[in-house]
Amino acid sequence: MDTDIRYEIPGDVADIHRLIELAFRNAPHTDHTEQYIVQALRAAGALWASLVAESGGKLVGHVALSPVQISDAAPGWYGLGPISVHPDYQGKAVGSRLMQCALAELEARGAAGCVLLGDPGYYGRFGFKAQSRLVLPGVPSEYFLARSFGGAIPQGSVQYHLAFTARD
Ligand SMILES: CC(C)(COP(=O)(O)OP(=O)(O)OC[C@H]1O[C@@H](n2cnc3c(N)ncnc32)[C@H](O)[C@@H]1OP(=O)(O)O)[C@@H](O)C(=O)NCCC(=O)NCCS
């Protein structure tokens, strides 16, 4: 499938919102607030990168990156997510392309590392794994995953942007 990955533009905002809502509608482990999180990150100026996947002129995927704070004050760490692929396009490598582009973006812009919450069976292929040194309070450790871009994994607890508490 021919898919382009590009930065979001202002005209994408409503489509991104709908796409995220749709992607998570039947997903496990969701409280269906992901579209509001992205909206709140954008409003707070904390949407460090927002990439969309486009196929045949249709928006079929999206991934958000935002800065995270680590209790040991390690700089340059980011949270990846939410990541969304339109249900009709799941399982066609759109998510993989978004992951690869997000990681390339982080590396190109000098990030130290990246964390995410997700299934290690899927995200392991992109170099993510649970790290005992890095915790997200309240979350089972096997699903909180990290990868660095060469340096050491910091030690401490991770705090996502306040926008991740957005509910509507
Ligand atoms: C998760 C998601 C982004 C993956 O995108 P995708 O385009 O469907 O994935 P790809 O086609 O690149 O990769 C397919 C592989 O991922 C696996 N996979 C897809 N979604 C998965 C999930 N939620 N958990 C575990 N594995 C998953 C498939 O089994 C397949 O594995 P295989 O290559 O070993 O056969 C997409 O399915 C989605 O939007 N899901 C709903 C929202 C969601 O759960 N987001 C993630 C939490 S932030």
- pLDDT tens digits, residue range 10-23? 999 999 999 999 99
Residue 84: both structure tokens together: 């969304």
Per-residue pLDDT tens digits for 128-150: 999 999 999 999 999 999 999 99
The side-by-side arrangement of strands in the sheet containing 156-159 is 69-70, 156-159, 134-135
Helix, strand, coil fractions of the chain, as percent rounded to 5: 35, 30, 35
Predicted TM-score of the model (pTM): 0.95
CA of 43 to the centre of ligand 1 (A): 28
Confidence of residue 38 (pLDDT cuts 50, 70, 90): very high
Per the CB < 8 A criterion, the answer to whether 38 and 21 are in contact is: no
- Residues with C-beta less than 6 Å from any ligand 1 atom: 23-24, 27, 81-85, 90-96, 118-119, 121-122
CA of 19 to the centre of ligand 1 (A): 15
Using CA atoms, how far apart are residues 77 and 109, in angstroms rounded to an integer?
A: 11
Calculate what percentage of the chain has a pLDDT beyond 70.
100
Q: What CATH number has the domain spanning 4-165? A: 3.40.630.30
